[in-house]
Structure 1
Amino acid sequence: MNARVGFIGGGRMAEALIESIIVSNKIKPCNVNVSDVNADRLAYLKDRYGVNTFMLNTEVVALSDIVVLAVKPQVMSAVLREIKNAVIPQQLIVSIAAGYPIENIEKILGSDKKIIRVMPNILVKVNEGTIAFAPNSRVSEDEVSLFKEFFEAAGEVIEVEERLMDAVTGLSGSGPAFIFLVIEALADGGVRAGLPRETALKLAAQTVKGSAKMVLKGEHPEVLKDSVMSPAGTTAEGVAKLEEKGVRSAFIEAVFAAFKRSVEISGLVKKW
């Protein structure tokens, strides 16, 4: 890919994306530009990945075909106002600021700009992320393909309607924390049963990883669950205990609670 990619903001999510596209050879380090307010952070990124670094956001915009806005939503408006005169209609603007709608970006940069709103999750750090995206009407099919090629190095890319971004946040944005909790709890159960902590943690993590792979092959979780449950067996006893404790309902409520909080935050962002 010959495109030049710029990152405004060099935080953890930006770094995860930078690492994934460089390791996958999608883009050469010399074609990656990064700006940040933290000079030490820029020095680290330059030293580790060989990317070009700048203190001025406008320099990154001027040198990039794709501009990734990787800043916190509370500073997004200020950053947009800073770069608005440098952005041209031919550039692709990609925002990963949580809760910040395309409408707000267009109000500052102009409705003639090509904008894609993205919700990645922390799993992009291991190239197993979910990256939900919603483009505005100015983005062409070829540009969507270019965007997908760029982000697929970091995980599964899924197009959704922008109105569903809060639901995405509740499920895949917050979801890894819920699964980390599951892994920890499974390991604790193993330790309670006599396993060494390290062994229990490896068994728990691998169990979750393998289970996810089976679902992603297209088999329904209910069918897979039933295939493990023998009549009056150990799994049936364990599942009955989970149902008794309301674990299924707890996960549903956790995702919905995260979704509702995302809606609240999005409402606040729209007023900024």
Structure 2
Amino acid sequence: MDLEKTVGVLLSKNEQLELENDQLKSMLSVVKENIDLRAKMQRFNNDSLEDLTAPGRKPSSLWQNTIDERQFRKDLQQTKSSHEHRTSSPVDFKSFIQCSVHTDANEKEVHSCQAEVPLVVKGPERLLGEIAYQLDRRILSHVFQGHKRLYGFTLLNVPAKITEVSTHPLTGKVDEGYRLHLTQRHADLMEWLSQFGYKTTLHPPFTEFVVNNYGILKERPGDYSGMDCNNPDFLRNVIIKSAPKKLQKDLLLVLICLCNMTEKDKKPLLLW
């Protein structure tokens, strides 16, 4: 009876986490949409300014542009209103999205998430993605300890992958005992990481964002590369010097979690 109750609680928690992840993705879509709308509004403002200053411009054209701008502002406001309170996602994730789509305060332009990353990502900057990737792999390797190949596994699809690996490929029958075992391993690890500030609704999409935008190291650094990748102080300095200021806090937290997992499993900081 206790086992059934535990299974029910864990399944309920997994469903809740899946729902929160869907809500976070929805919020990201809304934020990107609003950024695009604001960029359009800025272009409308620039066009209106040109109308005011351009000699020989017909008043009717300026008037029409003004009307178009007012209509655009109205549409923007309606778009904002329609998306308000769409999700109960935590404020800190919303803050992360807003921060990650801007460069430092001294820069003038507003970029998308992808545009914030340099067109050519150098070695030290790739280390940012490598750190995030290493933590993700460490977590997945811990949860799916008996599986060497983790292709297609991400922190965002852990519940689905637990069900997948617990299902017999021929009969389609789910091994409930094994699924419960994996679910408990994942829940225990997330609870342990939470004491360092790790949040299951924030940091899995955050690390995925970092890996997708910065990439990972193409090869293992040599002894003479000047990159001491198994030195936490070196990696911390890389984050401080190379990462956008508004991403540094969560990147440093990711490094802290990785260091603590290293202490836990007695393996090198970066695994190859």
TM-score interval for Structure 1 and Structure 2 normalised by the shorter chain: under 0.3
Q: Could you say which structure has the higher strand fraction?
A: 1
Q: TM-score, normalised by structure 1?
A: 0.25
Higher relative contact order (CA 8 A, sep 6+): 2
The structure number with the bigger radius of gyration is: 2
Q: TM-score, normalised by structure 2?
A: 0.25
Q: Could you say which structure has the higher helix fraction?
A: 2
